[in-house]
Amino acid sequence: MMNSESESSSLREDRFELASILRTFQKQQQTLVLASLDDDKQTFSMVRMEGSRIRLLPQQNPGLLASPLTLVAEGSEAKIIFSITNVVTAEQQGQQQWLGELVPTFSYIQRRINLRVPVPLREAFTLAIHLPGHVELHRFFVDNFSTGGIGLFSRGLPDPAFKQGAIFKKVDLNLGEYGEYKVNVEVISLAPLDEPLVDHPEFTHRISMRFLNLSLITQRTFNKIAYTFEVNFNRKR
C-alpha cells in the first residue's frame, strides 16, 4: 500500500453541485464557518441551504451588505471558493441573517491523501484510449490505482501522443467486476521499465496518469474501490 498527496483545482459551473457540496460540508463539520475573501475579518456560519439559496449567520457585526459576496469554505476533503448574489437580510429568532443566491461558477480545490493500491496483473484491468486517425484502441494495463490517479503498463513504446501533459477525455477505465467508467486523464510521466517483469515480459514501459475533474460521486466510488482493492489484493496475501 502507498499513499500519495494530491491537490487539484478546477473551475466548475453547476449550481446544484455547489449546493450539494455545501450541504456535505455542513454535515461533516456541523457548523460550517465561511470566510469572506472581500473582508478577511468577516466570517459566517452556514444556517442551511434553501434550494439554490444559502442562509448565513454573520459571526461579527453584520455591517454593510455586499453583493456579490465571494466566500471560501473548507470541508474535510476539499476547499471551494464561490460567490452569492442578491443578498438580503432576514430576521429570524432575533438574529440578523443573510440570504443569498448561489452563483453557479465556483472553484473546487481537492486536497487529500490518496490510498494508492498495487493491483495484480492477473485482474487485467485496463484503460483504453482512442486516438484520432487510429482504428485500434490503445490499451494499458493497471498496475496501481488511487482516487487521484492510476499507474499503467504498456506493451511496447506508446504512441508519441502519450507525452507528459497530454490530456485525454472520456476514456474507458475497465475495472472488471468493480465497474466500467468514463474518465478524463492527464499523462504525468512515461518511462521504460528498469527491469523486465518476469511473468509479463511483454510490458516494456510504465505510464502514470492523474484523473481530472472527477465528480464527487465518482471520487467517493473510487475511494471505496481503492480500499476494497487493499483488502482483496494485499491484506489477504
Dihedral of the CA atoms 203, 207, 213, 218 (nearest 10)?
30
Q: Which domain holds residue 18?
A: 7-111
The one-digit pLDDT tens for each residue of the chain (237 residues) are 444 445 567 888 999 989 988 888 777 654 455 666 655 567 788 888 998 999 988 877 666 666 688 888 876 667 888 999 998 888 887 888 889 999 999 988 876 556 778 888 888 899 999 998 888 889 999 999 988 899 999 998 999 999 989 999 999 999 999 999 999 999 999 999 888 888 888 999 999 999 998 888 898 899 889 888 888 876 544
Asked which of 88, 111, 134 is the last residue of a domain, the reply is: 111
Asked which of 111, 143, 163 is the last residue of a domain, the reply is: 111
Both 158 and 226 in one domain: the answer is yes
Asked which of 50, 76, 111 is the last residue of a domain, the reply is: 111
Helices 216-229 and 15-29, packing angle to 10 deg? 50
First-to-last CA distance in the chain? 12
Number of domain units in the chain: 2
Tell me, what's the pLDDT at 50? Answer: 92
Both 101 and 124 in one domain: the answer is no
Both 140 and 224 in one domain: the answer is yes
Both 51 and 125 in one domain: the answer is no
Determine, yes or no, domain membership for 2: no
Determine, yes or no, domain membership for 81: yes
Place of cell 492477473: 122
Determine, yes or no, domain membership for 1: no
Both 94 and 183 in one domain: the answer is no
